[in-house]
Amino acid sequence: MKRILVIHGPNLNLLGKREPEVYGRITLKQINNELRKVAKKNNVTVTIKQSNHEGEIVDLIGKAKKKFSGLLINPAAYTHTSVAIRDAISASQIPTVEVHLSNIYSREEFRQKSLISPVCKGAILGFGIKSYILGLQALIDLLNAK
C-alpha cells in the first residue's frame, strides 16, 4: 500500500477562524477528514502533520524518504521564504505536490513567488479545499503511474 505524507504549514491550524474572506470557513479537521476519504477510496494511507515550525517541517521531510511514497504539502507562509523546506524536498527525491487554498498569484506581491514549486511535480492553488483533494488525487495518480 502506498503511503503519503501530508504536511500543513504555519497557521493552518487556525483555519476557519483566520481571514475567512481569504481562506474560507473550512477547518483543518474538515480538510483532513476529506483527505482521509480520498485516500481510503484510492487504497492509500495518509499520515497528516501540521507544524508552525520550519525546522520541524524540514525534519519531517528528511525522514519521509524511508517511510513514504509521496508528499502533499501546503507550506503556507514558508512558500515564499523557506530555502530549507525547498532543499529538504529536493534532497528527499519524493514526488511532491504543493497545494494552497488561495490563489497566491492574486494576492500581495510578496506572496506571488513560490520557492517550493520548482522542486515539486506540480502545484494546485486557489480552489479552497478542492486544492487539497485535487492535489492528493494528482499525487496518487502520479504514484500509480510508476
Q: Which residues are part of the catalytic machinery?
A: 23, 100
For the four alpha carbons of 58, 64, 69 and 74, in that order, the dihedral sign comes to negative
Measured CA angle at 7 (ends 74, 106), to 5 deg: 5
Q: Which three three-digit cell numbers place residue 63?
A: 525522514
Distance CA 144, CA 146 (A): 5
The side-by-side arrangement of strands in the sheet containing 122-125 is 44-50, 2-8, 70-74, 96-100, 122-125
> Given the DSSP bridges, would you call strands 2-8 and 122-125 parallel, antiparallel or unpaired?
unpaired
